[in-house]
Amino acid sequence: SSRLLLRLPASQKPVEASGWWLDHFWSIPMFPRSVEGMQALALRLMKGDAEVQFCVEMARQEGWNPGLSDASAFLATDSEGYIVAESKSPNPGTVPIGCISCVQYPLTTTDGRPFRYCFLGFFIVAQEHRRKGIGAALWNGALEHGRQRDGGSDVVFGLDAVVEQRDRYAKSGFEVAFSSVRYELRVTSTTVIERDDASASGVSRLSADDAAVFDQLVAYDAAVFGCGRRSFLLPWVKNNACFIHRANDGNIEGYIVIRECFRGFKVGPLFADGLPTAEALFGAAVDLVKDSKAKELSGGSSTIPVYLDCIDTDKNPHSHHLPDTYGMGEVFRTSRMYLKPQHSDGSEVSHLNGGLNKWYGVTTFELG
């Protein structure tokens, strides 16, 4: 659905909006009194890969370096999780000028209590339309959209904030759970990731068409990530390269996905039961980059960047082993922040972070 969430003319009087939205929305003072050159500002849900690609393109322009095939996997995760802000005027007409995502994962239970996990990302307003209140409109609209879905059950909001914006999110009640660091490895034709033979022998490439093994992967991922995300993983694995590590009994002990981006490649996630498994999986991913870009690397001086996002947490003392060992350079830092439900004892966030001891690489800053 691409139902209209609201439409606001420059006079700030509502023109039209969907039913439930009106009940909760107009008490939120978040819009500018006027928007220069704009007859109306409308927020609506995006539909289809082409519209979600607008988010990806905005992220590319911001220098966030998304993946080449991200849009289809992101939309498959939640078809009603992406909001666009549109300027409506006679000339040039309807123009998208901002976006935000509020992606909802399937219902999760902790201590017998159900809750929903919504992750916020792609929060971008076009440069020429900033400081007009449009960002506030998107922000509050996304939070309200997340709260009202599926009967309004308890919802935990998560996001990855750049350090400069952390205080702004804290004013909305978000609290820091841990930090992440993006690292860059400059892969050359001679780059080698050391791994022991026993760990390396357990690594194989996974096809999403292998239903039985894929089901195992989904179960493993849910235990480590904190909630199920089958609808995300199916296109994520299908469109990118995924390697799994299996024990002698066939059980999955870790997996990695590496995807090509506008610049180089990104790893995400890298989940593993232990450091040797993580190193073996990372080595397989780097080997894939070397093989797929062999022609570009053949000159000797050429490099291909590979990015890995590692968390800072005492739950995994080895989380920075790979960047420390292979001289990966720091690119930037973010903070994972959560907004708990009202009257929460924090058990929901504890549940979501229960598998951090196996996180060697964050999946994506856009979806968690």
Task: Please give the CATH topology (third level) of the domain spanning 180-333+352-361.
Answer: Aminopeptidase (3.40.630)
The residue among 286 and 92 whose pLDDT is bigger is 286
pLDDT band at 28 (very low <50, low <70, confident <90, very high): very low
Give SS3 for 97.
strand
Cβ atoms of residues 86 and 95 within 8 Å = yes
H-helix segments, 102-192: 134-148, 166-170
- Residue 133 confidence (pLDDT): 86
- Residue 152 confidence (pLDDT): 62
Cβ atoms of residues 155 and 116 within 8 Å = yes
- Residue 91 confidence (pLDDT): 64
Assigned token pair, 309? 């996002």
pLDDT in tens, 104-148: 998 888 877 889 999 999 999 999 888 888 999 999 999 999 998
- Residue 90 confidence (pLDDT): 63
- Residue 230 confidence (pLDDT): 97
Assigned token pair, 276? 């040797």
Give SS3 for 116.
strand
Cβ atoms of residues 153 and 327 within 8 Å = no
For residues 278 and 348, what is the distance between their CA atoms, to the nearest angstrom?
27
| Stretch(es) of the chain classified as CATH 3.40.630.30 | 4-153
Q: Residue 102 pairs with which residues in a beta bridge?
A: 120
pLDDT in tens, 316-362: 999 999 999 999 999 999 999 999 988 888 999 999 999 999 999 99
Choose the CATH number for 4-153 among 3.40.720.10, 2.40.50.1070, 3.40.630.30, 3.40.1160.10: 3.40.630.30
pTM assigned to the model: 0.88
Vertex 77 angle, CA 72 and 82, to 5°: 80
| Stretch(es) of the chain classified as CATH 3.40.630.90 | 180-333+352-361
State yes or no: pLDDT of 10 exceeds 90. no
State yes or no: pLDDT of 259 exceeds 80. yes
